[in-house]
Copies of this chain bind each other. A is one copy, B any other.
Amino acid sequence: MTGTLTIVGVGPGRPELITPAASRVIAAATDLIGYGPYLDRVATSSPGQVRHASDNRVELDRARHALTLASEGRQVAVVSGGDPGVFAMAAAVFEAVETGPMAWRELDIRVEPGVTAMLAAAAEVGAPLGGDFCAISLSDNLKSWTTIRRRLEAAATADFVIALYNPLSKARPHQLGQAFELLRQLKPPSTVVVMVRAAGSGDVRRIITTLAEVNPDDADMRTLVMIGATATRLIAREGRAPWVYTLRREVEGGA
């Protein structure tokens, strides 16, 4: 039997947000490869199915391991959180293919999309991504802080809603604070900021605040941060958190 490799997104956390397509691929796989907590979200389909759990680093090594198994004829599912194409495993697999043996290019490699964290986070508070938006990873493991700054500046001056992935970690505790400082120079203090922890997991925590008042210490690696555009608004509600949404049309005085 010819080997296959599918990079599968299992969404933000709740099993109900895993697509039937992703579940089908996982059930049919002979080998599951992924970061331990993602593998824990999916059931083993058969006694013969092998689970290769890893930590969340060395993505390229994990990708090469998966490609090696597929080239040996296994049906491999690389299990990724959220959507595999957004700050997740798919790009690592294709990088491994490009830099690996030519035979790997003959493999049947597919990507099964999923619900990425910013969509789940947005749904938890309303519709903050209702206008044009951008997604930026604050991790500087693979790119410079200069590049991150340049993208934040561009996004702020062109009035995109900004979704920040990987806002901080133990190794880089100060970047989210630095990002807020930069954005405060470019956007009004009243700009809406939303932090959603563990969106789509059933154990969600939401903070709805402003750029003037946001505290970066309220975020951790499981937090998705969104900074509103000029057209991002709050709808006040009696005794409950406001809804947040971005008007589809422009507003006067937009940056």
Contacts and interface: CB of A to CB of B under 8 A. Distances in A.
Contacts of A119: 83, 85-86, 113-114, 116
A57 interface: no
Contacts of A126: 90, 94, 111
How many monomers of this protein are in the complex? 2
A123 B110 CA distance: 7
Interface string A236-254: 1110000101111110001
A48 interface: no
Interface stretch (A141-149, A177-185, A215-223): A141-149
A147 B255 CA distance: 10
A190 interface: no
A196 B90 CA distance: 18
Interface in A62-85: 83-85
Given A113-B17, A115-B114, A155-B154, A85 B249 contact: no
A127 interface: yes
B130 A91 contact: yes
A204 interface: no
Contact of A248 (B129, B134, B142, B159): B142
B115 A122 contact: no
A110 B126 CA distance: 7
A105 B245 contact: no
Contacts of A250: 142-144, 147
Contacts of A155: 134, 154, 158
A56 interface: no
A212 interface: no
A105 B235 contact: yes
A208 to B, nearest CB: 14
Given A17-B21, A98-B235, A134-B155, 6 more contacts: A17-B113, A95-B247, A112-B123, A143-B249, A144-B250, A150-B158
